[in-house]
Structure 1
């Protein structure tokens, strides 16, 4: 990569280059950054848009699904003409049209214990834009073992939450050791979601990911941020590492394929 931005890039990124303390070297850092977004649905749509617009040079997109009409209420990187197409293809076309500086790496595969390590390899951060607990726990576990930040986000109804789980701090299992019962929170099944909510949480995920890549600001890695769209309230809850955590604790696992995940994603020896 060139040591300086060209005239087109200076114009394109001019508004962020006006920020105090943000200069061309920071933009070059973004252009050399590699971020994996796991899920190209509602959360992923917002995160992908803003990571690409900001100039993250390589964005990996993992999703095995195809665009459905019911997705279009909230998954804004897809359009009517994309119905039936693989989501990774639709999202990649969106990014290509938005920013030619960005390379998209498409991964139209299911996240499994056999694929997760290779999917994460070479990325600086992973954005959790998943809609089911088994994949979310698996990516958290693999990301922690690989030393990669796991920028979590989730939405349901009017409520959403996010947190950047980074090496050295708590991981997702410190927040939720196992998946809740099926009758508590649906996982992987159609559920009601307020249309703008994934955009709100996905943008926050993109924000924390950019801050991590740039090493600026105070990354939200020790507090869980919750948002209730019904009354526009945010709450932050401190979170610490659990010594007994089976992933980031002193006796944690060493590989995802060394353990069995039961129906509630618990790690059993």
Structure 2
């Protein structure tokens, strides 16, 4: 460790360590890039990729993000964007959960989809994408459908879970599991021009209250579909909320539901009844 620290200190420009030297340190000392990044941050230095974060997230906050683990349930329209944004922000470990493979109708809106990826696992694509943009982030791909039986395995070790599902029943099961495991949940849903975001902290019944009138069947997204821009907008809000929770910054979106109307460019919030 002493030799690694000496190597990094000698190559720092101010407080910044370039990607070239980060990768070289990993090779030279036989450790992962993830481990090298932790060493850099623990020294009070900053990987150069995060220099534009520093006005918002100080170096000690960047270390908090690096040490964090987030589970994203669903790697499609919402989840693909959430995974990418968390990886670019520097969240150290992301569990990417999705049982599906890419189909042609995903190409209009899902960031991780491509013609070459048709038929490929969405969870595996999340890992491949992050490896290409930020190899210091560890992605754990899980090509399984979330259910109450595997909730502990997928969520219990995480600081936050993200709801990027496309069905109400799954969201409610996820919300209940997060409560049972005492893991905060950042919910997102999209349909056509519209979307919503909310945060459920342990002990709250936010999702059950939001969907209190639902009895069965598909949500409105099956009728309205989803264009390319709605998942990107809502996922950005979810990613911001996740980072706030991890950093303990700002005011979390608890006890409230944020509703986004991109057709009329309106954004409103509603109190979730208790």
TM-score, length basis structure 2: 0.81
Residues 170 and 239 in structure 1, CA contact (< 8 A), matched pair in contact too: no
Task: Tell me which residue corresponds to 2:198.
Answer: 163
Structure 2: which 5+ residue stretches go unaligned?
1-37
Counterpart-to-counterpart distance in 2, 1:239 and 1:70: 34
Deviation per CA, 1:33-78: give whole Å up to 9, x if none. Answer: 0000000011101111110000000000110000111101110122
Residues 35 and 123 in structure 1, CA contact (< 8 A), matched pair in contact too: yes
* RMSD of equivalent CA atoms: 1.8
Task: Tell me which residue corresponds to 2:271.
Answer: 238
Task: Tell me which residue corresponds to 1:258.
Answer: none
2:253 to 214, 220, 224: 220
Counterpart-to-counterpart distance in 2, 1:141 and 1:237: 22
Report the CA distance shift for 1:186/1:28 in structure 2 as closer, same or farther (over 3 A). same
Counterpart-to-counterpart distance in 2, 1:191 and 1:226: 16
Counterpart-to-counterpart distance in 1, 2:150 and 2:73: 12
Deviation per CA, 1:88-114: give whole Å up to 9, x if none. Answer: 111111111110110001111112222
1:194 aligns with 2:227: yes
SS of residue matched to 1:17: coil
Residues 58 and 102 in structure 1, CA contact (< 8 A), matched pair in contact too: yes
1:211 aligns with 2:267: no
Residues 189 and 195 in structure 2, CA contact (< 8 A), matched pair in contact too: yes
Alignment of 1:108-147 (within 5 A): 108-147=143-182
Report the CA distance shift for 1:36/1:178 in structure 2 as closer, same or farther (over 3 A). farther
Task: Tell me which residue corresponds to 1:4.
Answer: 43
Name the one with the larger helix percent.
2
Residues 108 and 227 in structure 2, CA contact (< 8 A), matched pair in contact too: no
Residues 45 and 59 in structure 2, CA contact (< 8 A), matched pair in contact too: no
SS of residue matched to 2:144: coil
Report the CA distance shift for 1:79/1:190 in structure 2 as closer, same or farther (over 3 A). farther
